[in-house]
Structure 1
Amino acid sequence: MRLLLTSDTHLPKRAGRLPAPLLAELPRADVVLHAGDWADAAALDLFEAHSRRLIGVYGNNDGPELRARLPEVARADLGGLRFGVVHETGAARGREARCAARFPDLDVLVFGHSHIPWDTTALGGLRLLNPGSPTDRRRQPWCTYMTATIIGGRLTDVVLHRLPPR
């Protein structure tokens, strides 16, 4: 099972459009996970139109229309793994312990908000993944997103993709 992980697209406010490499990846993925801050319902519509299956949540920059269509936390069983998606997890310091306590029933938690790519594993085994942002790198050197594969109930081939400068 091929996964595409993204967050903080902020369309069209911070970026007029989704980067072409990410847009091309959407239909290739079996499941797209978006960790919030779409910023506009048209961005959600775009993802829904180009994705086989979309699991998304709202973020702090998402207004009432998006909040009516998306949950704050999403959960799904994918390829034998228990996934969660949430926008915000708080400060980096103590994140693993805090998320493991909040989500003891998950194997993988996808999150966003910081625009900073993150890939760690908490003591209890919870994998935490933040794909960064494909449209707003802030203080990061690149705009980014992630892909991953699930094979035999294991998450493999987690790759952080750097997008070309705009």
Structure 2
Amino acid sequence: MPLDLVLIADTHLPKRAKILPDALWTAIEGADVVFHAGDWVDLATLDELEARAPRVVGVWGNNDGRDLRERLPEVAQVELDGVRFAMTHETGQKAGRERRMDTVFPNADVLVFGHSHIPWDTVTPNGLRLLNPGSPTDRRRQPRVTYLTARVDAGRLTQVELRDARTGEVVPA
């Protein structure tokens, strides 16, 4: 059976926004698995996400305090229907990222990361898919606040789509 995924990062609540957009909550509540790649900032966001999503995979980010670091790992690894996911908050500079991540995560098929607030979707020389969902609350230099949706089906990651966090609509990457 296919698994629907929501990928988010850099929520920064309540500093960058007071709440997550309703369209994002709708996507979260309809997903089978939600990935959060760090910089939650407050523990209440983790608690609410765990209450509203069937399964949450999360890591802490550089802006997360001791309370979040006690509940979340720095790196998470999970296999879903044969697809091996790794997740971390920071991957360093964009220059050379693909080759570095091939070295750091040689046994993963997909790496979810955050930190930059800039959506990212590339494939490394060794075939590792790198995904950054941007931020649903702080667009920085981007035209909109974003998250990613995807599906795992029969051992493959499919239907990866960047979405506007306010409307849920698919937007250009």
Q: Which digits, 9 at most, give the CA deviation of each residue in 1:101-160, with x for residues without a partner? A: 000000000000000000000011100000000000001010000000111111110000
1:127 aligns with 2:129: yes
Distance 1:28 1:78 in 2: 17
Q: 3-state DSSP class of the match of 2:131?
A: strand
Paired residues, number: 165
Aligned partner of 1:2 in structure 2 is 4
1:66 aligns with 2:64: no
Equivalent residue number for residue 110 of structure 2 = 108
Runs of 5+ consecutive residues of structure 2 not aligned to the other structure: 168-173
Give the partner amino acid of 1:83: F
Q: TM-score, normalised by structure 2?
A: 0.94
Residue correspondence of structure 1 range 83-94 to structure 2 within 5 A: 83-94=85-96
Taking the aligned partners of 2:158 and 2:22, their CA distance within structure 1 comes to 25
Q: Output the CA distance in 2 between the equivalents of 1:163 and 1:49.
A: 20
Structure 1 stretches of at least 4 aligned residues deviating more than 4 Å after TM superposition: none
Give the equivalent residue in structure 1 for 2:24.
Answer: 22
Root-mean-square deviation over aligned CA pairs: 0.9
| TM-score of the superposed pair, with normalisation by structure 1 | 0.98
What is aligned with 1:152?
154
Distance 2:81 2:5 in 1: 11
TM superposition shift of 1:163: 3.0
Q: Which amino acid aligns with 2:63?
A: N
Shift of 1:16: 0.5
Gaps of 5+ in 1: none
Q: Find the aligned partners of 1:21 and 1:129 in 2 and give their Cα distance.
A: 20
